Structure 1
Amino acid sequence: MSATLDGQSLFEEQELEIQIAGFNRDSIERRVPGLDGVLSIDLGKRGRKIRQRGTLRAVSRSQMDSRISTITAYMDGNTHTLVTGKGEKFDNLRMDVFTVTKEEISGSGLCWDYEIVYTQVVV
């Protein structure tokens, strides 16, 4: 089973690496004149960053361009669901960055390393 984004199989599983950052918390601090100390209001957990690294393979440049166009179409500000071949499911992901980190041309076609940065907006 390969990794899917909103049910679409877009990535090769054998080269896929998912890196999950910790949660962030946010708070507001207020000071009151005449009183010592600070009032701290906890705003709870905020989103966390999830990085996906892998390799895209294609037979031709036009096929690679098509794959990249399909992936970057998910940079629409909406949330999506990523499911890995191991069954790990990440809901509420907003795709923020798609970067090609390395391009190689081999006898069988094109091989590009990529990195995607998501923000998991609701945990």
Structure 2
Amino acid sequence: MTRFKVLLLGGLVLGLGALGYGAFSALGFEGASAGIAAEAVLIVVVVVWTGSYLLRVVTGRMTFMEQRRRYRQVYDQVTDAELQARFDALSEAEQQALLAQLEAESAAGSEDAR
């Protein structure tokens, strides 16, 4: 979030508080009571907003995480298709040689893990 957006958000919350004060004053609340009521509404809004953010963090449904997940899915699909096309373009002998090499590397890797 940019500094401008943070300042804008702060101004909006401040404006919401002033609007709430005006609304409660219009409803018949006196000075301090209208201020307390408007402040209580703002506190509830901030607590609910913070709670929804924490819920998204815990469940992993944050905007960045979802964008990254979608990007990774598309990237894997494109990469798999490209690798498959390259493999299909090889001759039968080259395909068999590549598969044998991969099996040998896989076997060597599993022995190193032991």
State TM-score, norm by structure 1. 0.23
Which structure shows the higher helix fraction?
A: 2
- Rg (Cα) greater in structure: 2
State TM-score, norm by structure 2. 0.24
Higher relative contact order (CA 8 A, sep 6+): 1
Which structure shows the higher strand fraction?
A: 1
